[in-house]
Structure 1
Amino acid sequence: MASLIKAASDFVPAGEAVFFRSALAMPVIIAWLAMRGDLKTGLKAKRPLMHGWRGLIGVSAMGCNFAALGLLPLPEVTVLGYAAPMLTVLLAAVMLGERLRLFRMTAVLLGLAGVAVVMWPRLAFNDLSDAAFWGVVLILVSAVMRALAQIQIRRMVAVEETSAIVFYFSLTATMFSLLTLPFGWSWPELPVLGMLVASGLIGGVAQIFLTSSYRFAGAAVLAPFEYASILFAIIFGYMFFGEVPTVNVLAGAGIVIVAGIGIILRERQLGLKRGKARPNMTPQG
């Protein structure tokens, strides 16, 4: 999906790409909800304002990410995007009151150090006209927005069905992306239109697969597979765009992945301990 968006970025603005990604995913998601018998719950929003806020944050993250794809190599955007889970841990401590233990804090700082290794060569503050500099800024803003979206989702799952969260994100993202219509939208030529349509369909299918995967395995089992995206980013970046990752990108990716997997394994260990302790807990916890 990211490769298709990147290829189309020379012809359409990021807002238009967000529209196609969101709008074309909706038929796929509606069909999936109907097959599962969740269409009724998927269309029922108990807290519309929460969905609106989540949609605004999510579409901002997506727009910044798509804009960055037009300015930076695909592997670099992928690695810098790994900052989002690290920032989620920090924001969860501040906004949700989650405990931030020494191990998690160390791993988060290590992961952010890996991100800094990747972006440092791009931060030429003396040349603010450099496209790569703004690409880094956009992907970091996207990472912050994605982290905020995760915090919002954690709040929403207490009152909303997962099917509703999935459906209304696509709906609100489509609506918010239309606000960018005056900013350079154009009717794309057939090959570009095909790429945009494919990005929406692929994005919808990927969203369904990701959501469905949590029915069969826990987050601690699935989360490490997210880091496989760097392998595909390197392969597709080289095949389609002739991009070869720099030493900084590879080194930073290694640091971030080690830190991320460290957090995941620690969370899994704590989860097992909580599970063993739960039978001995009082009804009040």
Structure 2
Amino acid sequence: MSTITAPPGDRRLLGIGLALAAYFTFTCIDSSAKWLALGGIPVLQIVFLRYALHLVLVLGINLPKHGTGLVRTASFKMQALRAAMLLGATTGNFMAVRYLPLTVTGAISFTMPLFLCALSVPLLGEQVGWRRWTAIGIGFIGILVIVRPGTEAFHPAALLCLAAAVFSAFYFLLTRRMAAHDSAATQQFYVGFFATVLLAPVAIPFWVWPSEPSVWIAFFTVGIFGFIGHQLITVAHGFAPASVLAPFSYLQIIFMAASSWVIFNQPPDIWLYLGAPIVIASGLYIWLRERALHKAATSVEAAER
């Protein structure tokens, strides 16, 4: 009996759907973190919860299947550095969401592709032409429109968001480097393991239990959504290439706006409507340019064979 295989187009649609579901759960992470912070839970405890619950789920699901292979890695140091970058990104973002609307933190997070492009020059030796450097500069102009430094509307927490975007860029560079050597399950394990071990001594001694039912719900969902989101995005990349999924990440701003407005009563202001499209357009241009250059390089290699 022959096996029926879904057409590539159908698989790509499935990958896009899974990616959108992942971006929705990422919004749920930030929403849960903001709810916990407003409920009086210390930020470091929130970050600890996010990764401790993540680690428990990774062990519960993957340890019976992989055994000791789950902790086997090609580079312990690289996994530790990768986990530290994601921990820095999460900490900065969770600190910022306490003071800023989710729409603002979400828009600033879209600078990550800009930092990723800029960092690829010194770290990966890639060539970035004037067009992409121009797009990077325009993207940061969009951020200036959103945060408006020098005005009363500016909040220093915006700098935490920018720092989180830089950490995220380093994290994705290291993930790209380790993807060829370690499984997704192993990488998930080390992300949760290092963060849990590092934060336990500073989070547990100052532990605060939730005092309201809604805060108790967020207490658990912040870690559960973290695990689900990363699982979904990993599976999505198995059905569709990153070049297809990348543009859809910007749709997360819709989820962020809905959560900010409906849950926290913080609707977007006019400056977000002006600045966010600039940042998103810059990121999309860089993606299109890199895709075009990759296709051109592939064509040259094929012609030389």
Q: TM-score range by the shorter chain?
A: 0.7 to 0.9
User: How much has 1:207 moved relative to structure 2?
Assistant: 0.5
The answer to whether the 8 Å contact 1:30/1:39 transfers is no
TM-score (norm 2): 0.82
Residue of structure 2 equivalent to 1:95: 123
Secondary structure of residue in 2 paired with 1:109: helix
1:103 alignment partner AA? R
What is the alpha-carbon distance in structure 2 between the residues aligned to residue 29 and residue 212 of structure 1? 15
Residue by residue over 1:154-189, the C-alpha shift from the partner in whole angstroms, topping out at 9 and shown as x without a partner, is 332343333322221121122222243278432223
Structure 2: where are the runs of 5+ without partners? 1-28
Q: Check if 1:134 corresponds to 2:156.
A: yes
Q: Check if 1:18 corresponds to 2:33.
A: no
Q: Check if 1:173 corresponds to 2:195.
A: yes
The answer to whether the 8 Å contact 1:32/1:208 transfers is no
Q: Check if 1:189 corresponds to 2:217.
A: no
C-alpha spacing 1:133/1:184, structure 2 compared with 1 (3 Å): farther
Structure 1 segment 2-81 matched on structure 2, within 5 A: 2-10=30-38, 11-30=40-59, 33=62, 41-81=69-109
What is the alpha-carbon distance in structure 2 between the residues aligned to residue 218 and residue 250 of structure 1? 30
What is the alpha-carbon distance in structure 1 between the residues aligned to residue 203 and residue 62 of structure 2? 29
What is the alpha-carbon distance in structure 1 between the residues aligned to residue 276 and residue 169 of structure 2? 19
The answer to whether the 8 Å contact 2:50/2:223 transfers is yes
Secondary structure of residue in 1 paired with 2:280: helix
What is the alpha-carbon distance in structure 2 between the residues aligned to residue 163 and residue 243 of structure 1? 37
Aligned residues: 275
What is the alpha-carbon distance in structure 2 between the residues aligned to residue 90 and residue 33 of structure 1? 35
C-alpha spacing 1:184/1:72, structure 2 compared with 1 (3 Å): farther
2:301 alignment partner AA? R
What is the alpha-carbon distance in structure 2 between the residues aligned to residue 78 and residue 172 of structure 1? 25
- Out of 266, 289, 293, the residue aligned to residue 270 of structure 1 is 293
What is the alpha-carbon distance in structure 1 between the residues aligned to residue 302 and residue 44 of structure 2? 51
User: How much has 1:41 moved relative to structure 2?
Assistant: 4.1
What is the alpha-carbon distance in structure 2 between the residues aligned to residue 265 and residue 65 of structure 1? 27
Residue by residue over 1:19-55, the C-alpha shift from the partner in whole angstroms, topping out at 9 and shown as x without a partner, is 11111122433455469x5565432122111111122
Structure 1: where are the runs of 5+ without partners? none
1:58 alignment partner AA? L
The answer to whether the 8 Å contact 2:45/2:204 transfers is no
1:279 alignment partner AA? A
What is the alpha-carbon distance in structure 2 between the residues aligned to residue 239 and residue 86 of structure 1? 30
User: How much has 1:266 moved relative to structure 2?
Assistant: 1.9
Structure 1 segment 194-273 matched on structure 2, within 5 A: 194-273=217-296
CA RMSD of aligned residues (A): 2.3
What is the alpha-carbon distance in structure 2 between the residues aligned to residue 143 and residue 77 of structure 1? 10
The answer to whether the 8 Å contact 2:70/2:189 transfers is yes
User: How much has 1:259 moved relative to structure 2?
Assistant: 1.1
Residue by residue over 1:110-133, the C-alpha shift from the partner in whole angstroms, topping out at 9 and shown as x without a partner, is 21211121111x545xx8xx9x62
Residue of structure 2 equivalent to 1:83: 111
1:14 alignment partner AA? V
Secondary structure of residue in 2 paired with 1:133: coil
What is the alpha-carbon distance in structure 2 between the residues aligned to residue 93 and residue 159 of structure 1? 23
The answer to whether the 8 Å contact 2:63/2:70 transfers is no
TM-score (norm 1): 0.88
Residue by residue over 1:130-165, the C-alpha shift from the partner in whole angstroms, topping out at 9 and shown as x without a partner, is 9x6221121111112112222222332343333322
The answer to whether the 8 Å contact 1:42/1:167 transfers is yes
What is the alpha-carbon distance in structure 1 between the residues aligned to residue 67 and residue 225 of structure 2? 21
Residue of structure 2 equivalent to 1:145: 167
